[in-house]
Amino acid sequence: MQFDRKDAKAWCKQHIQDYYEAPLTPITPDFRLDETGLRDNVEAYIDMGIPGLVVGGFLAEGWNMTTSEWRRYHEVMADAVAGRMDLWTIILESSPRRALEQMQFVESLGYTGAEIMNPAVQLKSDDEIFDYFKFLTDCTHLAVFLYRTYLAGNLFSHDVLRRLAQIDTVVGMKQGGLVYAETLKLRRDLPPDFIVSDPQEELFLQDLKYGSQVLWAEVTYILYGKKRHLMTSYIRKAKAGDWAGAEADWQALRPVANFWDDLVTWEGVYKTKTYAASFAIVKPWYEAIGLKAGPSLPTVHPTSPQRVEWLRERLSELGVC
């Protein structure tokens, strides 16, 4: 570990910056983990200058892997990254015992931390949720990012978040409640060393003005392809106080960002409260920008060849590829 338990918040506050990406998983035509493709993608992420990866979540299809696939995936990621960028996992388990087993496994591989979704079944009260995270953090030294999302069927209450933020190794939260006013409220109410990240890139420039430091565990920087330099530029200019220049770069990126929001965020997450409607269309987007993707794992339906061709034409028109 790069920090002691008592220093976890300070280390993360200093080092977690800009954008931590949650990449897709390349799959072979016979629905196996494409280890070569996974390693090739990691090299591409390093070339992109991504400071950290948060792996194994919904878009990565971690929810749909067998136990052995999940473990092998994390082994390959750790070996491929080889300490060249910060590396976190995502835990989607309602069982504290299974979640602990996963955390201890990735801790042995050298991961920095885990983003953990609020339990989707059984553990629903504030006390039960607090006990879930206290159990995990007492038994591992990993830093923990909370994942506050409706995909779990409920959201962390503000009261339990205040309690969880007092645990040394609970360092921050992905505020996936989809209400920006709530992001600002939580940032005001929770300790200043606790990171609150809103995962909506369209709000990130504005959010930088209100104390944000990272766009946590989403994938737009990767998907923006040949346009991703605009995101790097507006972040750099905003941090330097050049808000007019940052705004110009942010505006230039909007056609691509709006296409992403309409195609994936709105049609998928906002309307269905799942990512299942998004996997199949994001895979060919990945391949259009030169990354390895392959099919989605069953039983997610593949995108039709006609729609893939339409997507490639739109991305070319937008200058993404």
Given this model, what pLDDT does residue 280 score? Answer: 86
pLDDT over 70 percentage in the chain: 97
Please give the backbone phi and psi of residue 270, each rounded to the nearest 5 degrees, phi first. -65, -45
pLDDT bracket for residue 275 (50, 70, 90): confident
Spatial separation of the C-alpha atoms in residues 63 and 247, rounded to whole Å: 37
CA 197 → CA 20, 44, 204, distances in Å? 11, 25, 9
Cβ atoms within 10 Å, residue 233:
18
pLDDT bracket for residue 106 (50, 70, 90): very high
Contacts of 59 (CB under 8 A, 6+ apart): 22, 23, 24, 219, 275, 278, 279, 282
Q: What is the DSSP string of 166-210?
A: TSTTEEEEEEETS-HHHHHHHHHHS-TTSEEE---GGGHHHHHHT
Given this model, what pLDDT does residue 286 score? Answer: 97
Q: Is the pLDDT of residue 273 over 90?
A: no
Are the beta carbons of 136 and 96 closer than 8 angstroms? yes
pLDDT tens digits along 172-186: 999 998 899 999 999
The CATH code of the domain that includes 16 is 3.20.20.70
* More confident: 256 or 2: 256
Q: Is the pLDDT of residue 268 over 80?
A: no
Average pLDDT, the chain: 95
Contacts of 121 (CB under 8 A, 6+ apart): 94, 153
pLDDT tens digits along 44-99: 999 999 999 999 999 999 999 999 999 999 999 999 999 999 999 999 999 999 99
Spatial separation of the C-alpha atoms in residues 321 and 313, rounded to whole Å: 9
Given this model, what pLDDT does residue 312 score? Answer: 98
pLDDT over 90 percentage in the chain: 87
What is the number of structural domains in the chain? 1
Mean pLDDT check: name the lowest of 93-102, 129-138, 262-271: 262-271
Q: Is the pLDDT of residue 272 over 90?
A: no
Given this model, what pLDDT does residue 178 score? Answer: 83
Region 133-147: mean pLDDT is 97
Instruction: Give the closest residue to 42 by CA, choosing from 222, 202, 231, 296.
Output: 222
CA 135 → CA 97, 158, 230, distances in Å? 9, 20, 42
Spatial separation of the C-alpha atoms in residues 234 and 287, rounded to whole Å: 26
pLDDT bracket for residue 148 (50, 70, 90): very high
Q: Is the pLDDT of residue 240 over 80?
A: yes
Question: What is the amino acid identity at position 143?
Answer: A
Domain interval for residue 231 = 5-317
Copy the structure tokens of residue 85.
Answer: 């960028």
Q: Is the pLDDT of residue 136 over 90?
A: yes
Tokens 């930088």 found at: 208
Region 104-124: mean pLDDT is 95
